Structure 1
Amino acid sequence: MSERPHLLIVDDDREIRGLLAQYLEKHDFRTTAVADGKEMRRVMERSHVDLLVLDLMLPGEDGLTLCRELRSRSQVPIIMLTARGEDVDRIVGLELGADDYLPKPFNPRELLGRIKAILRRTAHAPRDPSPESVRGFSFGGWRLDTVTRTLKETSGREVALSGAEYRLLAILLAAGNRVL
């Protein structure tokens, strides 16, 4: 990676977001910090992210749901960073696709070490397609555009979807033939 790696921090605690961003920027990372899944999606649609630091307990969609959704369409490394440190929470997070799991409170140097280790392992892995090239899914005469969040028939007629309907359809289509 010739440019500074871009880390996306998703945590609803403003203080933790700010401190993490500041600490990681001092260690030569470019950071974007957001409070929820909606903002996370917006950032990921507009820019390449090298690693995601994801809190488990978020307003709206929780970190496990976001992790599952991301993993169905992306190989971006994910470190779960959360106050829920029970064994079962760690196991579920890892099974849903997180690359690592660090319970709060945590040592920032340990998080930095884990980030660097994951980025070393993934430095030569193929990157996810650019956000501009991933536009959605086609199925049975329909097209779901994941950038504009619209559903259209091949004739061009657009069908209105609620937020929940869009998310459900996107998750089902991203899973392909896998049972969810």
Structure 2
Amino acid sequence: MMTCLLVDDSRVIRKVARRILEDLDFECREAADGSEALKACRQDMPDLILLDWNMPVMNGLDFLKTLRKEPSGEAPKVVFCTTENDMAHITEALRHGADEYIMKPFDSDIIASKLAEVGLVEAA
């Protein structure tokens, strides 16, 4: 079973994303900020990270930059899931190693299509 780390300071967003990803046969873990997420990745690197941008303690971009320098940190597919939808944010995320970008609000079809694009699920 594929694993996903949901990184968002909103418990509601994590809960909604968890339901969608579990329906896609992912085993999910959660983190409320980038610092928690980094600890989780150091314990057990997931296949996928669904990542918010704006969080306390460590934001999503700082987490991504740090993750990609970790042992096995290049392995997970990282999909930003955020309200930051201007081209500058998207370009910066992709430049630092994000694989895809989803705008909030999202639904199961959007997540499934993005995961198909990065090769983690079969296209519908």
Report if TM-score (shorter chain) is over 0.5: yes
Aligned pairs (5 A) from 1:31-180: 31-73=28-70, 74-75=73-74, 76-120=76-120
- Tell me, in whole angstroms, the C-alpha distance in 2 between the residues paired with 1:64 and 1:46: 20
Cα 1:78–1:47 shift into 2, 3 Å = same
The unaligned stretches of length 5 or more in structure 1 are 122-180
Q: CA RMSD in A?
A: 1.6
Higher normalized contact order (CA 8 Å, seq sep 6+, divided by chain length): 2
Q: Structure 2 counterpart of 1:68, which letter?
A: K
TM-score (norm 2): 0.87
SS in 1 for 2:68: helix
Percent identity of equivalent pairs:
28
Aligned residues: 118
Over residues 12-44 of structure 1, what are the superposed CA-to-partner deviations in whole Å (9 max), with x where a residue is unaligned? Answer: 010010111122112211111110122212211
The runs of at least 4 aligned residues of structure 1 exceeding 3 Å deviation read none
Cα-to-partner distance string for 1:90-115 (whole Å, 9 max, x where unaligned): 11111111011111122321112212
CA contact (8 A) 1:10 1:55 kept: yes
Compute the TM-score of the two structures, normalised by the length of structure 1.
0.61
Report the counterpart of residue 6 of structure 1 in structure 2.
Answer: 3
CA contact (8 A) 1:17 1:33 kept: yes
